Structure 1
Amino acid sequence: MPNTNWLWFRVFANLGLKKNGGKFSQERLDADIKHLDTFYRGDGWSNDGPEGIHQMDYYSSSFAIHFLQLLYAKLAGDEDPERAAEFKKRAQMAALDLAHYYDEEGRAIPFGRSVGYRFAMVSFWGALAYADVELPVPLTWGMVKGIVMRHLRWWQTQHDMWSSSGTLTIGYSYPNMYMAENYNSPGSPYWACLAFICLAVPKTHPFWTSKEENHWNVIPKVKALKHPGHIMSNLGGHCMLLSSGQACSYPMKGTHAKYGAFAYSSAYGYSVPPGLLTLEQYALASQLGLSDDGGDYWKTRRLSDSSLQTRGGDGSSSGPVLVSLWSPFPDVHVKTYLVPPHESTPNWHLRAHHIRAEGRDVMTADGGFAISSRRAADGRLLGLYDAEGNEEKEGTRPKLVGNYDTATPEGWADGREGAFAVSLGAVGVRALEGKERGGGRTAMLVNADPNSNLVESRTTIPTLQGTVGKGQSVWYVTAVYAKPSGEGVKKEDYLSGWEAVPEVPSWLREEMSQ
């Protein structure tokens, strides 16, 4: 058995045999649970694996560990009350963190592997009710019900996830084999049915009798999560996760995109590479790529040494910051700072990179969120943005050119002016470091290859590009814009925050000057 959450499968196989008079091993059952307990890290969080692995995604909660701990507490609690009580206690502690992964529209933040299990992302909440867990203050059963029901309703708007025969496909919002894992089969999407554990909850339970409520009325808009190493945000119209750069225990397909990206959004799903040649195929959404061969092959953050820190002094400006150290090449070293949005500029977050190219020249490409590149009227490629002459209020600036035709002068802009795309909301990037620090970056739109993104089959990624010469040490500060479409958001307001660029924090300016 893999040394992961899979050990729970053997626990339940033995438990099922035991409950039904079959041959089973109590010794093996106890030993597996004892070993699974070594994955526990504290405050309700378990790692999906032993020491040396930092992987805390939906497997830590809805897909496996919390879900199965709660099932065990319900099914074996009478004969193992001590463990049952501990598992419930862990779920109570984790619930206040896990609530940050679901936005008001019902969307969850896609992060990590196996997101093709879709609405299984909310099974933790149904399992809480099934196991008769007492909710931690200030959560209510109306809030839990709201998370589950809004999520299921949102998935019913994703019409392309079904095959022609009416079965769930491998993919996310549409069939997509590029994001599949090597353990997937045609039946894998039906792990989504974990969400229906709520149907085992009695109709008299407050999960069913309560009116749906919005949990975002009572939890913080920005919160640092110690154990997964995330900063969670719900500002600017979407839930966002700033990531410390977790990593799967083995280099699975797209692992750098599923764990190593800087930001993950409930509105703009992450992108995986459908190929490995040029930026169009790497589809570096919310990633910094570095190339030492002129732009054919790109290296990104996969393994890193990361920490949650507080910056900004003792005043009201202080807040959580994620810092990670990583080396895409043995002689190129990057220190990345991730700064969450502020209420004064809710559509922006900042990322700063200190790049030391000790042994080689490197090209750099810092990508924002991926957004649909299709026009609403005919599905063709977005044109140049024209606020006055375009009824749909869609387009890009600078021009979105065809695949690999990046020599077109109209497709480039000064990094300080930035690049943006407007379709289902707006996304963009701007360079804040100034020419004296970073050598002057340029802005453009990457026309990502089809089926790279989880949510939209055709996307573009606003990107800042620059070059760091051998022996140079430079600072890049990227401001990343996102304002999704949604209820109450007018098309003409998609870019309402574009000119309100956040200031580079004083603590960061001080570090850049050292």
Structure 2
Amino acid sequence: MASTAADPAQTGLVLGYNGVHPFAKVSITDRSSVQDLLRTLLDPLEPFFSPLKARVRCPGATAVRFDQTASEVEGLCRPLWGLACLLAGGGDYRGTQWWIDGIRAGTDPDGPEFWGFPRDNDQRMVEMCPLGYALAVAPGIWGGLDERERGNVEAWLGNSINEKNMPNTNWLWFRVFANLGLKKQGGKFSQERLDADIEHLNTFYRGDGWSNDGPEGIHQMDYYSSSFAIHFLQLLYAKLAGGDEPERAEEFKRRAQMAALDLAHYYDEEGRSIPFGRSVGYRFAMVSFWGALAYAGVELPAPLTWGMVKGIVLRHLRWWQTQHDMWSPSGTLTIGYSYPNMYMAENYNSPGSPYWACLAFICLAVPETHPFWTSSEESHWTVIPKIKALKQPGHIMSNLGGHCMLLSSGQACSYPMKGTHAKYGAFAYSSSYAYSVPPGLFTLEQYALASQLGLSDDGGEYWKTRRLSTSQLISRGDDNNKTPVLESLWTPFPDVQIKTYLLPPTPKTPNYHLRVHRIAAGRTVLTADGAFAISNERTPDGRYLDLYDAAKGEGTRPKLIGNYDASTPEAWASGAEGAFAVSKGAVGIRALEGSELRSATLVNADPNSNLVESRTTIPTLQGEVAAGQTVWFVSAIYAKPSGPGVKREEYLSGWEGVPEVPAWLREEMGV
């Protein structure tokens, strides 16, 4: 559908009290409607272009680890992912000329809005990737420049990046696309550098379709391994360069086919992805892999169908349409997830950074005759297993109990990222109950230990959690009933060693998973074992939850007490009784072994610690392990989310059906 003249309600968009973004109003049914959805993202950027259009200063005067100019280059180039995909698929946009003018001005070394040539490891290198892709697939951009201006683009995009050092990560793909974009338009580029980068990137490949985001010694397989960068760009490369390099293209497609059967487990029936790892502020980019499969002409592996792939993508976009708080008052994307949140932000998240989300619109470059568009939407959960162990990322995936969940061990970011222990070191991640990050580093309320075990040697002021660990996937049980189990070894203090086992839900107890810790303490430590975080707002008025009332179908047990009087007896229960909270579904935790050493309570987490819910509480088991003591803690973690067909009175229906401690574990524990 051709775009119309500028709509004043959108170009001057102001989201006031109860304002609803145009993004939420699009009825997503087909390719044309997804084109319209993209336009609602691009329109609000118009007032924030610089005079010559080379920079976009998105609202939010927050600093990042790179300079302000690079931040504003992000603001221009990241939305280009969406625009380029729209144009590549034959669509149009009223503001296309803004980007052509911006590229012209930004690459002019004599102009007032010149972007500046990149230095080593410069953020500008990242933004060269969408620019390179746009040049490759949207000829009108290159065609809109004269000979001198094309030379400027060649100098900025090709020559400068080929001479500089880059991080030994997925960034190398960005240089590949800088060269590829020039190559596709007959510009000056380096085939030698392009080939060398791809060959080095191939050393990140670990098998089963999975690539690591870095060399040996790093275990980081998050959405960068799939939708944000590596698989996504491999598939784009296979499409654009496959005619000249058929063997390389086929290898990239083969990896994607294998990975697809694993990655399908990260998306639930309601369209949500499991938030895991860094950069989840890129939001709907988490489904980019699936559109790229169609774009690259990959033959889907059985039993997946194009209707299932289409369903993953469109349901995901529809879920984001329900997240009304993720916008600035002027209609631009904010730093955050379901709402603006700087606590979760990485030090590279500028106000323009969230527009990496536009990768999701690669599906618009897919022809309307492709079965991705012509198929009816289907659910992939009718054909893939409910429990699956994934060797490469070190995950056990589950879709029992009303949500998609992954159990995780062994992953860690290679550098000291803010909240890295929460983004990679938590034990469980859920599509319904997002992870929480620490808004401060003083007491449990600020650490917000959702799905984490914290240990303190100073009486509870500062807490250490799992960050670095060695791990392995094992299989336990008798020959007729084998269960995948994750084992990890970690050392929060030099003289405190912990072995943790993670066991997935079973059909018999679908709302529980088991978490087991063997703690050998060389010093006295307090422990805090947290369940999932859940919304801490009662239905009538949004105030904090009261004591559980079965008639109302919400509340907590024991009583939720404020941050400053948690020593009140009514705030505690025995470890065996456990603690739970009921609001948007129910979450809880109870001790199966080691219950005499632990008590249950509700931690009133600091606001804005969770990615999805701004006010949360975390059912938690707390106890002490004395110096010289070795103990076993076995915790059963409960989760039953709200959702279609789930009645409020059913939220706690599985709470009393506590899982048994497996015989093999009892034998190892000696009980």
Q: Which runs of 5+ in 2 are unaligned?
A: 1-165
Please say if residues 61 and 67 of structure 1, whose CA atoms lie closer than 8 Å, have aligned partners that are also in contact.
Answer: yes
1:72-87 to structure 2, matched below 5 A, reads 72-87=237-252
Q: Which residue in the other structure is 1:495 paired with? A: 652
Greater share of strand: 1
**Which string of whole-angstrom CA distances, capped at 9 and with x for unpartnered residues, describes residues 78-131 of structure 1?**
111111010000000100000000000000000000000000000000000000
Q: Distance in 2 between matches of 1:255 and 1:313?
A: 37
Q: Does 2:536 match 1:376?
A: no
Q: Which residue in the other structure is 1:67 paired with? A: 232
What's the secondary structure of 2:597's corresponding residue? coil
1:419-458 to structure 2, matched below 5 A, reads 419-435=579-595, 439-458=596-615
Q: Which residue in the other structure is 1:105 paired with? A: 270
- The structural deviation recorded for 1:269 is 0.3
Q: Distance in 2 between matches of 1:31 and 1:343?
A: 49
Please say if residues 245 and 262 of structure 1, whose CA atoms lie closer than 8 Å, have aligned partners that are also in contact.
Answer: no
Please say if residues 418 and 430 of structure 1, whose CA atoms lie closer than 8 Å, have aligned partners that are also in contact.
Answer: yes
The match for 2:495 among 331, 334, 346 is 331
Q: Which residue in the other structure is 1:9 paired with? A: 174
Q: Distance in 2 between matches of 1:107 and 1:288?
A: 26
% identical aligned pairs: 83
What's the secondary structure of 1:248's corresponding residue? coil
Please say if residues 264 and 270 of structure 1, whose CA atoms lie closer than 8 Å, have aligned partners that are also in contact.
Answer: yes
What's the secondary structure of 1:161's corresponding residue? coil
Please say if residues 245 and 261 of structure 1, whose CA atoms lie closer than 8 Å, have aligned partners that are also in contact.
Answer: no
The match for 1:355 among 519, 528, 551 is 519
Q: Distance in 1 between matches of 2:410 and 2:526?
A: 21
**Which string of whole-angstrom CA distances, capped at 9 and with x for unpartnered residues, describes residues 335-377 of structure 1?**
000000000000000000000002x100000000000001111
Q: Distance in 2 between matches of 1:350 and 1:357?
A: 22
Q: Which residue in the other structure is 1:396 paired with? A: 556
Aligned length: 506
Q: Does 2:337 match 1:180?
A: no
- The structural deviation recorded for 1:245 is 3.1
Q: Which residue in the other structure is 1:321 paired with? A: 485
- The structural deviation recorded for 1:19 is 1.5
RMSD, aligned α-carbons: 0.8
- Runs of 4+ residues deviating >2 angstroms: none
Please say if residues 351 and 479 of structure 1, whose CA atoms lie closer than 8 Å, have aligned partners that are also in contact.
Answer: yes
The match for 1:167 among 332, 346, 349 is 332
Q: Which residue in the other structure is 1:306 paired with? A: 471
Please say if residues 594 and 632 of structure 2, whose CA atoms lie closer than 8 Å, have aligned partners that are also in contact.
Answer: no
Q: Does 2:535 match 1:364?
A: no
- The structural deviation recorded for 1:386 is 1.3
Please say if residues 107 and 151 of structure 1, whose CA atoms lie closer than 8 Å, have aligned partners that are also in contact.
Answer: yes
1:29-48 to structure 2, matched below 5 A, reads 29-48=194-213
Q: Which residue in the other structure is 2:291 paired with? A: 126
Q: Distance in 1 between matches of 2:594 and 2:484?
A: 25
TM-score by length of 1: 0.98
Q: Distance in 2 between matches of 1:27 and 1:345?
A: 56
Q: Which runs of 5+ in 1 are unaligned?
A: none
Query: 2:584 corresponds to which letter in structure 1?
Result: L
Q: Distance in 2 between matches of 1:265 and 1:233?
A: 9
TM-score by length of 2: 0.75
Q: Distance in 1 between matches of 2:564 and 2:353?
A: 35
1:170-249 to structure 2, matched below 5 A, reads 170-249=335-414
- The structural deviation recorded for 1:313 is 2.0
The match for 2:218 among 43, 50, 53 is 53
- The structural deviation recorded for 1:434 is 4.4
Q: Does 2:447 match 1:287?
A: no
Q: Distance in 2 between matches of 1:29 and 1:405?
A: 61
What's the secondary structure of 1:117's corresponding residue? helix
Query: 2:425 corresponds to which letter in structure 1?
Result: G
Query: 2:212 corresponds to which letter in structure 1?
Result: N
Q: Distance in 1 between matches of 2:172 and 2:429?
A: 29
Q: Which residue in the other structure is 1:297 paired with? A: 462
Greater share of helix: 2
